[in-house]
Amino acid sequence: MADSMKSRVASLSPRQRQIVRLTSLGLTSRDIATLLSMSRWTVENHQFQAKERLGISKAALLTRIAIKYKISPLDDELTKAELRKLGRKA
């Protein structure tokens, strides 16, 4: 199963990996859309496709996989540039 999940994670597109990372950091679809200059619907479509590819249905599992397979390490946080784009203080 671990090798299967590892290959599924490897099959994610760069954009899907980016959105999985941001989701695992607790950003909403709207926040991610603002950050990446895309519509909320596009973000949600990428999230759905990533979950389908990984064979999961819950965002909590998406976060666990992001941490386990180092898409978003446990100590990951938004960069200063990402925080500025979201209008938050670093």
| Position 59 pLDDT exceeds 90 | no
Give the Cβ contact number of residue 77 at 10 Å. Answer: 10
Q: How far apart (Å, rounded) are the C-alpha atoms in residues 89 and 49?
A: 32
Give the Cβ contact number of residue 31 at 10 Å. Answer: 20
Predicted pLDDT at 72: 94
Q: Which domains occur in the chain, in start order? A: 2-73 (1.10.10.10)
**pLDDT band at 89, cuts 50/70/90?**
confident
Q: Is the dihedral of CA 83, 26, 18, 42 positive or negative?
A: negative
pTM score? 0.90
pLDDT in tens, 5-55: 999 999 999 999 999 999 999 999 999 999 999 999 999 999 999 999 999
Find all residues with CB under 8 Å of 67, minimum gap 6, and list them: 24, 73, 74
